Structure 1
């Protein structure tokens, strides 16, 4: 398959390398000339079967593409989609943005529609980021065994398009999780977006105390890792998902308020134990264990049910009638 990757930062650059390593013919483009130069140099040094081409315009990148992967920050996404539309691109498009509702709205605005369907678009989000950014941080193995969300909007997303993207993504070693934009945004607010805010608050607070800063060790390192992420990227994903992040943040703040109240009791140690136990028990059963692989019909209802129970797709049958899927072993976290 001919694949175009627009945007060559950490995720886009890793996708470029991974698609090339998987045997696809890949064309990359980035708006930054220095990034393009770095990617060209890396291509020249890559093994012969895993090379890619870096071109100078979006139009050149998509000229022969069967699939376009848009890997730019949310604020730049509308401009790229408008360029695809202006170039008359009518093939398949996906993205890697960490918030899906606003992306769906931008696609509706900029790309052509056919019979009330988002023609040729499947929203995506690989759950595989790092605190480092830029093409120099790109890694072709970044997506191995990672959960890669592909949005399947009922009555909107053509299931054939979804299966095409799923087949390509599972070919990179990723686990495809089917869901909707609304369900995705609600979930990632809790497990990705709010953790960035918490890590940043903790890092900024600790930095005001020189003794604390010099004593910081493992728990501080693990709890603040993502605070090193570029502020603009974090602002885009949290601000772009403001409604869901607000709800999730309120829930976490309420939980922290309960801990604060426990510290005010006559027996703070005893009061904190049940508060801590809930999170400790939940963390002990994560990540979920994979169950036995099974075959499911490649229908939207079956795929969305799979995603809602925490399952994923590992392969798409050649005839596109079934998928190989895995449901997690059920270990319920505490209520």
Structure 2
């Protein structure tokens, strides 16, 4: 029986229908193999194109970087030449001014010597008016001094306005101090914004300013250099600067250097005042103000943080004890005044 079955199976395999099925399977396998080969080749070509694109982009970026640094090098070289020329001209001018002053002093010394000789010989007697004139001249002479360099700007070289996006000073990490704020000042949760509110706020500590709409910034300091920027926007009035820790907080304040305030203020929409209440002529209204304090040099300066232009500076300040950043968001007189002062 087994021999018969095997013989029958062999006969069936040799039949035309069975041969057709085997040929179809071989054809399908061949087609699948060709299809997979085609897919693999396409994937290889795609990856090859991507690899070429990556190499091309990398080379292009390197060339752009080289070009950018080449232009930057050219710009810096030009700026260096310009700054050196300005410095040379400044030194030469200072030397000429000093030489003129020296010659004036020599002439005065000679005249004074001749005058004293005549007085000793009894040839003349000095009148009260002459003594007054002499005294006034001596006072003016005592004020003469050699020009010194100003404290270093937080912008390092102020003339680098063209690369402001690169040479940018790092601001101190300041926060508004809520317990020092007048009750009608609202401080944001992150303590980076302050604005006027008609609803008085509850203060935990009785250390706030009143009646002035003032608030301090933290941390305070008593040494080193410090710089911060404040977004003042389009507000019509505000006050920025520093204050002594010892100033009283529960009395009307005379905002002056003698009272321990060194500030810049904006009033009457576009009128700016320095510490001595002298009016400042500004070409543009700053939207962001930079405050730079150098305690060791007894110096404070205010800058237009967008243009790096100097607004106002004070030297020879009597900085003693701890100092704190000082702010006043202003009294609301127009809609823009409801916007906050923001620490940048």
TM-score with structure 1 setting the length = 0.19
Q: Please say which structure displays the higher CA radius of gyration.
A: 2
TM-score with structure 2 setting the length = 0.19
